[in-house]
Structure 1
Amino acid sequence: MTLRTATPADAAAIKAIMKPVIEQTTASFSSEQRSVDDWASLIEARLASGRAFYVAEVDGVVAGYASYEQFRPGNNGYRHTMEHSVYLSDAAQGRGFGRILLITIEEHAREAGHKSMIGVIDADNTASIAFHEALGYKEVGRIPQSGYKFDRWLDALFMQKNL
């Protein structure tokens, strides 16, 4: 596995990773796919603002990504609190890539002077909760029935780690 900074050229691969996540799971509460151009713009915007956006490659193929942005963007009171996203292709699951990606963006955020990292998780996603707990995240809040997908209400679980 190779870890590197994402470029807009990775947008199609990231969209492909997210397609089954959005269509088949509640790992993302969204039911709308971003376009390749939207992904490319997001990568450019994150990097231009000093945030991290990394991809993990296996045999030259993007197998996952991780990034972060300010929690509640636009409110400078939260400027030292970040929210992350970490997603892997199905083939990359269970191989330690998610752990490497998350630790890498945590280090990036720490070096940039940020105080904490937040993950917002479907409260029924036990695998993601266990993943975060193993990396030192603690449950700090829950918003019941705050998301809606697949004709059911979802609870958003907030997990935080001080950097």
Structure 2
Amino acid sequence: MTVRTARAADAGAVARIANAVIRDTLITFTTDLRQPEDIARQIAARAPRFLVAERDGQVVGHATYGPFRTGPGYAHTAEHSIQLDERARGQGLGRALMARLEAVARDDGIHVLVAGISGANAGGIGFHARLGFAEVGRMPQVGRKAGQWLDLVLMQKILSPRPQAVPDTATASG
């Protein structure tokens, strides 16, 4: 298995994985299928923040991050997404993708990664918890798909430690 930066040529495989998740699950609230040309543009705009996992020469998963919210105060917070082909789940590929994505994010100056997870996706919530993400909020019934109201679970992981306070030497006795 290899984790690498995505290329435009990966857009079709990424679309296949994403569209299966959109069509067949409640993992994402969207019902709009992804088009390879749109994904190719996203890959170009986010490189090197768009990664794929390959197994036996086939793309079997992808992960990326982008802005959490607009405005300069949020510049060090990003929201990520990760999706795996159904047959690739439970084999450590998601962990490998996230380890690399977190390293890229740290290098990019990201302090906090946020995950917005469907409340119907117990596997995704557990996966993120095992990686050190903490649930920080739950928004009941904010999504709707397949005739169901769905909760949005917000999880976050702080990637860089909080700076230690430096004693004020001007007031320290000595």
What SS does structure 2 have at the residue aligned with 1:12? helix
Task: Pick from 60, 75, 82 the counterpart of residue 57 of structure 2.
Answer: 60
Q: Structure 1 vs Structure 2: percent identity of aligned residues?
A: 45
Deviations 1:71-120 (A, max 9, x none): 02x32221100111110001111100001101111111111111100110
State the alpha-carbon separation in 2 of the partners of residues 141 and 7 from structure 1: 34
TM-score, length of structure 2 as denominator length:
0.88
Equivalent position SS for 2:151 = strand
Q: Match for 1:130 among 126, 147, 154?
A: 126
Structure 1 equivalent of residue 2 of structure 2: 2
Hey, what does 2:22 align to over in structure 1? 22
Kindly name which structure, 1 or 2, has the bigger radius of gyration based on alpha carbons: 2
Letter aligned with residue 2 of structure 2: T
Report the aligned-residue RMSD: 1.0
For structure 2, the residue ranges without an aligned partner over 5 or more in a row are: 160-174
Secondary structure at 2:91's aligned position in 1?
coil
Partner of 2:167: none
Q: How many residues align?
A: 159
Give the equivalent residue in structure 2 for 1:44.
Answer: 44
Partner of 1:124: helix, strand, or coil?
Answer: coil
Give, in angstroms, the shift of residue 124 of structure 1: 2.5
CA drift of 1:27 comes to: 1.1
Moved over 4 A (4+): none
Unaligned runs of 5+ in 1: none
